[in-house]
Chain A
């Protein structure tokens, strides 16, 4: 038993555990539970009961997602498991740690997920810049294959399973699961219309489950130690642990595995060591670049999907980006808008044309060429690019820091116009 099921084997000062070392540390026990007679329906039941929610940002219940794969005993119908390892959300650096630090945990999680949905083949969609993770995972896959943990009849279950490691070439939209599937098929990575959902018609039209790296890394613990243990970790309606991170002007920025329900203050002031001398916390994005700003008055909120949701933001990736009092909020939001404008796939008009317009206005504000009318145009875009107005969630994600920032930092926006320059320069 452990209270850090995701990171207990991770020590970044040395390399990742080899398969032998991972097994010696109790690894592949979850996969062996399958070999000892767990049926796919048993695993699905356990994962549903565990309350595991997807860790990629949306927080959708994993067991429920899996249950949408059409049930069939016919294993000749190809199903796919796809790992979303395209970590590119600004300010997010959690999956990197898992992949570099303990690749066998991911592979074990994949075996469990694939067995449950009876997918004989999986693809890991890894962002192209993660060379260290690529090496670490490739080595682990080779070890697992050599030991018969991957390939034909794994663990004597009669189930065949193998993994292909696909490295991408840098495009944020590939993190959107249907865009990711198009990219894997060798197409331009525009998102697809939903429905049909990938669970029914995904990769090459086959039933496909796309799960985030951290989500899959939760599975070995759930099978090895049980649902009760899993639920004893975490509080506030969310179960298990989560990787929470802090970046910005704190004394010890980093990423830590903590139980759900820990307070924001504990993460920022405790683990993050508090703000650096001479800097005060002004606001923060709680879960990456696509979340609404929160402020110091929210510091005692527990980190759960529901509690952060009630504040009008999202827990999302759990990696917080801190804005300090010496950094221009308009500049910070402008930086995010430049990112979103650059990474728009260009397929739908509001996103393709709206985000560059927003980006241009932020540049004007920065150089003292902005007008009050520009600020109104920005406010209009919060609506025009919001949920339901675009083909996928990229532009609505951009409106989260934009809309909340326009409200919170109205004075700073106005000062950029009235002073005809950035007051922080």
Chain B
């Protein structure tokens, strides 16, 4: 079998590609109809797998590389390049917290501190119940409503410590079930 080198794994000779699910394959096949090369579908395939699995494991990485016939090293180069491909497990919802200039001017540091206190986590960490992962994100392009953050696919705008207080008890109640 081909020797694969993966950034996140210490050389583990037994590392094997997992089987892609039928759904994943169907979605990747659809993408393949839109682009003239298989390689072009790499990022989309990573996103598809991440949508289904929550993150991109080494086994998934190998599976996608095999499926698209691209070197795993190149696919890994793409995966690690992008901010929103997760090569480690993340929580049920990822909080993308904007820390760029307009949000910073409007006091996002204080809001982030409050958010961290509520969740008990800092950037790059996942809350104890596995509900949230907190990640800083470059400018979310909603600067007239700064500070902003994105929870899952939903934007939260004009944030303040008070709005974090009113947002999070709800979520905590959901999470503590």
Are A247 and B146 within 8 A (Cβ)? yes
Are A189 and B81 within 8 A (Cβ)? yes
Contacts of B140 in A (CB 8 A): 129
Are B40 and A170 within 8 A (Cβ)? no
Contacts of B100 in A (CB 8 A): 90-91, 289, 335, 339
Are A171 and B102 within 8 A (Cβ)? no
Interface segment, A42-50, A180-188, A374-382? A180-188
Q: Which of A130, A204, A289 contacts B101 (CB 8 A)?
A: A289
B: number of interface residues (CB 8 Å):
42
Are B138 and A87 within 8 A (Cβ)? no
Q: Is B20 an interface residue (CB 8 A)?
A: no
**How many residue-residue contacts, CB under 8 A, span A and B?**
133
CB nearest to A131 among chain B residues: B153
Are A128 and B84 within 8 A (Cβ)? yes
CB nearest to A343 among chain B residues: B138
- Per-position 1/0 for A150-189, Cβ under 8 A of B: 0000000000000010111111100000000001111111
Complex Cα–Cα for A352 and B124 (A): 22
User: Nearest-CB distance from A351 to chain B (Å)?
Assistant: 15
Are A129 and B84 within 8 A (Cβ)? yes
Are A164 and B34 within 8 A (Cβ)? yes
A: number of interface residues (CB 8 Å):
54
Complex Cα–Cα for A254 and B106 (A): 14
CB nearest to B158 among chain A residues: A253
Complex Cα–Cα for A26 and B173 (A): 50
User: Nearest-CB distance from A97 to chain B (Å)?
Assistant: 9
Are A164 and B84 within 8 A (Cβ)? no
Contacts of A322 in B (CB 8 A): 105
- Per-position 1/0 for B95-116, Cβ under 8 A of A: 0100111101110000000000
User: Nearest-CB distance from B110 to chain A (Å)?
Assistant: 12
Contacts of A38 in B (CB 8 A): none
Contacts of A246 in B (CB 8 A): 144
Are A169 and B85 within 8 A (Cβ)? yes
Are B138 and A339 within 8 A (Cβ)? yes
Complex Cα–Cα for A91 and B44 (A): 27
Contacts of A254 in B (CB 8 A): 144
Contacts of B101 in A (CB 8 A): 90-91, 289, 321, 332, 335-336, 339
Contacts of B82 in A (CB 8 A): 128, 168-171
Q: Please report B residues at the A interface, Cβ cutoff 8 Å.
A: 34-37, 39-44, 46-47, 70, 74, 77-78, 81-85, 96, 99-102, 104-106, 137-146, 150, 153, 155
Q: Given A89-B139, A253-B145, 9 more contacts at CB 8 Å?
A: A90-B139, A130-B141, A167-B47, A169-B84, A186-B41, A186-B43, A187-B39, A189-B81, A345-B81
